[in-house]
Chains A and B, each alone.
Chain A
Amino acid sequence: MVSGGQVGALTRETGGQGGSRIELRNIEKTYGLRSGKSVCALRDVNFDVTPSTFVSVVGASGCGKSTLLRIVGGLSRQTTGDVLLDGNPVTGPRRDVGVVFQTPELLPWRTVLSNSLIGAEVLGLDMAQAKRRALELIRLVGLETFEGARPNELSGGMQQRNALVRALLHEPKLLLMDEPFGALDALTRETMGLELLRIWSTLHCSVIFVTHSVTEALFLSDTVVVLSSRPGRVKAIFDVNLPHPRDLSMLSAPEIGEKATQIRELLGASPKGVGE
């Protein structure tokens, strides 16, 4: 799928700096409602992300996992607690973080290439170099024949690949993904998961991946953080003992099956399951 040369080039460019270490310390977030009441979305959230690992956060809808991701990305402010990125507190959006949202959020008048470059324009990067890297990443995600296509000419999966290129363009050390495959059909979703792992393995950034799919979390991650429903608290943290690279046959591995059952029980799901 990808020739060795390209992978080498991308890895060299990141300079082997790897991903960042993230530490969450007693994160609490309360929202004030218009009625004057306040709602506690997150309480006492503590966990660490080891550099260059893939961490998923699972929980039921509305448990505050997206809020948590926004706080880590500096897009939202926690009420109390600290987010440390390589030891430095996060106070706003940072240039060493890339974000992929639930929806692709592509600008409809831009092509795949120029949508990929929007971050570089905003951050004032060297455009010639950014364009070169964008083309490499576009090839890496398999969109090379669609450089000039606009979002309405792409399928949902291709749009999310485009969003991934945009998030990775400025060589972030941390990639935040907020249910990025939530809007895709099951088959495309599995494919995109595998692609993401492949891309991640060439870039070595840290990833925090939010999802409500227990299986997806287990299949993709090194570590799965389970959040309780509102207010979101860390209920348990699971390490996934499966080797990389992963393949679809591992979806039926006992490691995933057993832990999925445990997580579903923790989340209070009925036997029918809530994950998918």
Chain B
Amino acid sequence: MTAQDEIVSTTSGASPGPRNRRRNRPVGETSGWVRALQYAGVLVGVVVIWQLVVTVFHVNQVLVPSATDTAKSLWQSIWVSPSSRVSYVGDALETLKEVVIGYVLGCAIGLVMAIASLYIRLFAILARPLVVAFQSMPKLALAPLFVVWFGFGAASKFTLVAVTTFFPLYVNALVGFQSVDLGLIRMMRSFNATSLQIFRKVQFLAALPFIFAGLEIAVVHAVTVAVGAEFLGGQSGLGVRIVDSEQTLDVPSIFAELVLLAIIGVLLHSLVSLARKRTVTWTGEQLLLKDQ
């Protein structure tokens, strides 16, 4: 009897191994192109319905601008006069900057704290109640304080983003590190592995699905909190522009700014999600990380 007889047939029994791993998709997952088309189709459908509803039912366009008015506002801002005072391209970039700096900072701190909690007992004992207490506080309530401390500029915004994003990373990474299969650790010990070797070769990689779950949660929070902080006092950023547009009752601009925010959110989330798919290739999608 040869090993071939024992093969588990997944999709094709003929040539198992990494060559056809791409075809072994988890149930329910479609290929990237098909999915992109689906997304585009839904998007176009929504825009068409939006336009129809607004024009056919004569909705007050001051309150709800049509899709074309929104597009016009976006077009003006992005292509016609991107450097003008009324353009919000610069604000979008500012918000993006705050989110990215705060996110990277917060996630890194969360990860380092999780590792520290894993190995330094005293740190874990001290950190856990503080982190939990801190997490129960609405982060946005800190925005005015951070403005006092760090000014109206980007610093107060990315600090708030960092403070918000570190928690999902800390909790998820710690759970990930601790939930590693004890059998794998026993296997490593049978080779007399040091705890650093066990961490690097087993624990960290085993925790990666959890870490990515934290990263995906954090990225959503990051955008929300950055805009919230801008509402409460800032010099530039999409949040600031939304408040400005509100005061001049320029609803098409508000819509356009919201569209930009959505683009930033989707873009960042897709990047994290892509990174996960490239890195964590050994678990089924259905484990932990269903795409929303």
Contacts and interface: CB of A to CB of B under 8 A. Distances in A.
Interface of A: 1, 73, 75, 92-95, 97, 99, 101, 103, 105, 107-109, 111, 118-119, 121-123, 141-143, 145-150, 152-155, 157-158, 161, 170, 188, 191
Contacts of B17: 145-149, 153
Given A109-B205, A122-B191, A146-B17, A191 B3 contact: no
Nearest to B284: A152
B1 interface: yes
A108 B181 CA distance: 11
Interface string B181-194: 10110111111110
Contacts of A157: 3, 6
A54 to B, nearest CB: 20
A75 B183 CA distance: 12
B4 interface: yes
B201 interface: yes
For chain A, what secondary structure do more than half of its interface residues adopt (helix, strand, loop), or is it mixed? loop
Q: How large is the interface on B (under 10, 10 to 19, 20 to 34, 35 or more residues)?
A: 20 to 34
Nearest to B185: A105
Contacts of B181: 105
Interface string B177-219: 0000101101111111100010001100100000000000000
B186 A75 contact: yes
7 contacts: A93-B192, A107-B202, A108-B283, A109-B281, A122-B188, A122-B197, A153-B17
Given A75-B186, A145-B17, A123 B282 contact: no
B7 interface: yes
A111 B21 CA distance: 12
A252 B135 CA distance: 67
Contacts of A145: 3-4, 16-17
B3 A95 contact: no
B28 interface: no
B16 A122 contact: no
B183 A101 contact: yes
Nearest to B202: A107
Contacts of B191: 93, 95, 118-119, 122-123, 170
B17 to A, nearest CB: 4
Nearest to A155: B6
A142 B16 contact: no
B190 A75 contact: yes
A101 B186 contact: yes
Contacts of A191: 1
Contacts of B16: 145-146, 149, 153
A107 B18 contact: no
Contacts of A108: 282-283
Contacts of A149: 16-18
B60 interface: no
A101 B186 CA distance: 9
Contacts of A1: 2
A95 B184 CA distance: 18
Contacts of A92: 192
B206 to A, nearest CB: 8
Contacts of A107: 184, 201-202, 205
B56 to A, nearest CB: 53
B6 A188 contact: yes
A109 B180 CA distance: 13
A144 to B, nearest CB: 8
B11 to A, nearest CB: 10
A35 to B, nearest CB: 22
A142 B3 contact: yes
B8 A153 contact: yes
Contacts of A75: 186, 189-190
- Give the interface centre of B1, B2, B193, B283 by most chain A CB atoms within 10 Å: B1
Contacts of B201: 107, 118, 121-122
A73 B8 contact: no
Contacts of A143: 3
Contacts of B186: 75, 101, 105
Nearest to A191: B1
A111 B202 CA distance: 14
